[in-house]
Structure 1
Amino acid sequence: MRADDSVLSITGTDARVHELSLSQLEAMPQVSYTTRLPEVPGGETASTWQGVRLSDLVKLAGSTPQTLKLWALDDYSVIIPDSDLAAFEPIVALRRDGQLIPIESLGPLIVVYPLDDRQELRTQEYYNRTIWQLRSISLE
């Protein structure tokens, strides 16, 4: 995969589609969380996840959604309420411990919540929202 290949598609509430490459995502403001992701292989130990706030991606699409529907490469999907964006600031991580996340390690993009920092996030509901191999977001 080349750095300028599209890795994420965002469809705004106006139905406009925004395609983003890894290099475009890396050029955006980055946030890091050190946390464990129990549902991710190797996630029983803490890793440092770096990426873009999901709220910044929503702003990029110029939309104000009530919910976000996210799809993985294997067509798994989750719904994230927009209230999570301000309350928990999940990120779309593209790096784990400083390295880009390869597809075979559930990359290139994983939604990460600060699970170790917030006790209320340590539930199956939020583990399910930690979608890996993220490919698209639809703002509804």
Structure 2
Amino acid sequence: MAIWFLTLPFHASALDKPEGPVMLIVTGTLAHPNSGDEAHFDRAMLEALEQHDTLTNTPWHDGQVRFSGPLGRAILEAVGGDGEQMRITALNDYAATVPVSDFYQYDVILAMSADDEPLRIRDQGPLFVIYPFDDSPKLLNEVILSRSVWQVHRIDIE
């Protein structure tokens, strides 16, 4: 019986429960939910994930802006998400369908700050999907711009 116990998979990457206000809810087929069958993240949990800075121009800002936040793929890996696309939804219910492959092909972040200032709701926060437009100019097109959801509060992995 002890041998059987030792062969069980050990999930060291299980998510803790958020201690602060929930900023992001992730749903779908998740290996590591922390609230029923969903994964809830507060600011500290998002800050604990692999972070990335993206210095880029966007159609919504004047000049280059340094956006900072967790890599999208770090969020997917933290929840053990399984799917081919995501429905990313904003606080105002705007939603865009984004291929999961975007998060692995590009350094897409869920920006939590711009030029070292936390993104507030009035500043397109608390989370803003940012693609590295200056690093890959081909991303500056209507399809990708429509995937650049701001005021993100939910990701449904499908």
Which of 6, 19, 27 is the aligned partner of 2:48?
A: 27
Residue matched to 2:113:
95
Q: Normalising by structure 2, report the TM-score.
A: 0.81
Query: Percent of counterpart pairs with the same letter?
Result: 27
The answer to whether structure 1 residue 51 and structure 2 residue 69 are counterparts is yes
Moved over 3 A (4+): none
CA RMSD of aligned residues (A): 1.5
Letter in 2 for 1:100: P
Q: What is the DSSP-based 3-state SS (H/G/I as helix, E as strand, rest coil) of the residue aligned with 1:92?
A: strand
Residue 84 of structure 1, CA deviation: 0.9
Extract unaligned runs of 5+ from structure 2: 1-18
1:77-116 residue pairs with structure 2 within 5 A? 77-116=95-134
8 Å Cα contact 2:49-2:75 kept in structure 1:
no
Q: What is the DSSP-based 3-state SS (H/G/I as helix, E as strand, rest coil) of the residue aligned with 1:131?
A: coil
Q: Which has the higher contact order (CA 8 A, sep 6+)?
A: 1
Extract unaligned runs of 5+ from structure 1: none
Letter in 1 for 2:71: R
Q: Normalising by structure 1, report the TM-score.
A: 0.91
8 Å Cα contact 1:12-1:61 kept in structure 2:
no
